[in-house]
Amino acid sequence: MPDYFVWETRRPSLDSALAPEFPPTFKQYGVSFLTGRRFLSPLPELEVRIPPISDGSPTDDLIVFTWRCIAHSDRLIRVLRKAGVDNIDYHPLRIVRETTGEVYHTHQAANILDVVFCIDQEKSSLYINDEDPHHLWFIDRLALMDERLGDALCFRLGERPSTVIVHRRVKEAVEAAGITGPVFLPAEGYREYRGFDENNPRNVIGTHDGDPDGPADALDDEDQDELDESGDERQGTEAH
């Protein structure tokens, strides 16, 4: 079994809540939950709203569109701490379910403090901006440099901070506890899902040949050619 996995956050079913967005903390408070930095000042209680169109019960790992591992239930927090994860700062959060008027204080906003730059560009397949090699357009196949990982249990991927990587120990603890929301995909061979910003009610952001939900549909040759052409227009380049 591989040692590292990408933490995806998906609706188990359409009966689970899906929040369309996370509060814009950088614009409002000058802080970001993606930088891996501890906030110097406490935040006021943040609010996530569940609209009627995607109403349902909140999962332990709250499903927020295109976000991963960003709002944790008290139960999930306990599981992570017991597994040895000690690099997450938590901030007050309320979840408002517009359909019922319920307000949940069962979750907290999670700020993962570790960021690790560890993509093996020689073994990965990536679309990178050729004018800014630090700007990663798209991950077509992921490979990590094991020597950069040390004994890290949970961290954000430096080249793609929205992506959360966890050790197998964390995966197994979360799954054994029956935590709802997370889906873990092997980091080696992980690829981003090209349709994630379209009609995507389950919040599929990435996939893998070993995806427990089945790999997301592959593009046919015509679609792949179109993607390659658009990548060239965006000054992207593929690195192997």
28-52 pLDDT, tens digit per residue, is 999 999 999 999 999 999 999 999 9
Q: What ranges make up the beta strands (E) of the chain? A: 4-9, 46-50, 71-73, 88-97, 102-104, 107-112, 115-116, 125-129, 136-141, 154-157, 160-167, 182-186, 191-192, 206-207, 236-239
The count of structural domains within the chain is: 2
Kindly state whether residue 3 falls inside one of the protein's structural domains. Answer: no
Question: Does one domain contain both 66 and 137?
Answer: no
The pLDDT tens digits of the residues spanning 169-181 come to 999 999 999 999 9
The pLDDT tens digits of the residues spanning 146-169 come to 999 988 999 999 999 999 999 999
The pLDDT tens digits of the residues spanning 71-124 come to 999 999 999 999 999 999 999 999 999 999 999 999 999 999 999 999 999 999
Structural domain range at position 173: 115-230
Question: Does one domain contain both 98 and 86?
Answer: yes
Angle at 94 between CA 89 and CA 99, to 5 degrees: 145
**Contacts for 211 with CB less than 8 Å, ≥ 6 apart:** 183, 185
pLDDT for position 132? 65
